[in-house]
Amino acid sequence: MRRTAVPGTVTNPAEGTLPRRRTAWERATSLVGHRWPTWLALALAAVTVPDVGDGSELALVLVLAACAYLFMAVTDRVRCTWPVLVGFVVTVVVLKLLDIDPRPVFVVVTAALAVVGLIGGQLRGAGLRRLQAPAALGFVALGLISAPTHSSIGPYLLAAGLLGHAAWDAVHWRANRIVTRSFSEWCGVLDLTLGLGILVLATMS
């Protein structure tokens, strides 16, 4: 009679169909492999939160995230999510080398995407697509007015924006639309960690 493999085990070819339980190391590496966006986000947050500065860098994170979601909604190329992020990061680096503040540039890009998407119809569909333009413009506005964070209300506005975008990421992760699920997981964990970190620092200062 043919044996059925027990869940959580792997088949050992040397023993025919007899199942072999996965080792603790195999389970751990599988967990890390499946949750790599989370670990990547936590690592990035760990080196970012202690060096908040005036908050302009974290405000830029919020602006970039909002612009990236809107860009993906307008272009409708889900598989290009990570390459688009890389392109955005390269653009930021180039602008800073030219001593240009990236935030106003991406504000213009976000506004242009909203106009193109609404005229072309990409942002007039049902569900999440209809919400992309107002959400992106709202998050970008928060990113602009929340920095510098040395003002009394700045840190809380920035934290609210990041935590709000973390919830927005969770909605997209659950729906598995607009962006890849790995990106929404990474962005959500990063936004959540940065938002909570800013609140802690603001409370301690």
Six-digit token pair at 132? 């992309």
Six-digit token pair at 6? 């027990």
Each residue's pLDDT tens digit, 70-90: 999 999 999 999 999 999 999
- Work out the pLDDT band at 18, boundaries 50, 70, 90: low
User: Which one has a higher pLDDT value, 138 or 25?
Assistant: 138
pLDDT at 24: 56
Distance CA(138)–CA(181), nearest Å, equals: 23
Percent of the chain with pLDDT over 90: 63
- Work out the pLDDT band at 53, boundaries 50, 70, 90: low
pLDDT at 49: 79
Helix pair angle (181-204, 36-48), 10° resolution: 30
The answer to whether 191 and 166 have CB atoms below 8 angstroms apart is yes
Sequence-separated contacts (24+) of 167-176 with Cβ below 8 Å? 168/69, 168/135, 168/139, 171/128, 172/69, 172/128, 175/127, 175/128
Each residue's pLDDT tens digit, 189-200: 999 999 999 888
pLDDT at 153: 84
